[in-house]
Amino acid sequence: MRYSAFLCCFFVFITLLVGCQAINNASQKNDSIEAEKLKANHYSYNEDQRDAISVINELPGHENVHNVTLQTQKSPSYISVDYTQASTETSRQFEHNWSADFTKKRVFNNATILLGLIDHADSVHFNVHTVVPQSITITRAELEAFYRHPLTPNASKGIQNVNVENNNNEYKINEFFRRHPITELD
């Protein structure tokens, strides 16, 4: 009897461990950015949102993009991206993939890529529709001050190594979000 109970508990533990690891691996896989691939297709920002959508579809979290809006009629121009739960994932997976730490990393990297590749966008606004919705706007000026160089594909440092550069600046990125917090909406 004890042996059966032990085996049952052991099986449940292993199942939970494997399931949690699979969720974590999926999150990390989706966070890889192919800036070089995107850089090869430098986009000129225009009235058509196809360019922005093309870039967004290559970024981490693209499977959760629900809506993309481009505002070009008045200044400042911006890109707005709404993320919601994909039909192929559970709410638990979505909440995990868009937890505070993952959200910070994704929106920071995605804003860097978008503003680096789409010439005339002044800012990117992100809405993440988790149980507690999150919202943040990141401007070109804020990111250029952070990186200390222009956000263009042809700048000396450019966006080529954004993932490596950001991984080495985790402390600085956390400082960025202390000054520019992600707003939790009611």
Among 45, 109, 102, 34, CA closest to 79: 45
**Cα 19–106–100 angle (5° rounding)?**
65
Name the DSSP letter for residue 49.
Answer: T
The pTM score is 0.73
CA 175-111-53 angle, to 5 degrees, is: 160
Task: Give the range among 39-43, 93-97, 108-112, 151-155 with minimum mean pLDDT.
Answer: 39-43
Confidence of residue 23 (pLDDT cuts 50, 70, 90): very low
Residue ranges covered by each domain of the chain: 1-30, 33-184
Query: pLDDT band for position 61 (50/70/90)?
Result: very high
| Least confident segment among 97-111, 124-138, 168-182 | 168-182
3-class secondary structure, 132: coil
Number of neighbouring beta carbons within 10 Å of residue 89? 16
Place of tokens 């991206």: 81
Rounded CA gap, 106 and 81, in Å? 12
Give the pLDDT band of residue 25 (cuts 50, 70, 90).
Answer: very low
Model pLDDT for residues 73-127, shown as the tens digit of each residue: 788 889 999 999 999 999 999 999 999 888 998 999 899 988 888 877 899 999 9
Segments in 2-153 forming alpha helices (H): 2-30, 35-40, 50-56, 91-97, 100-117, 140-147
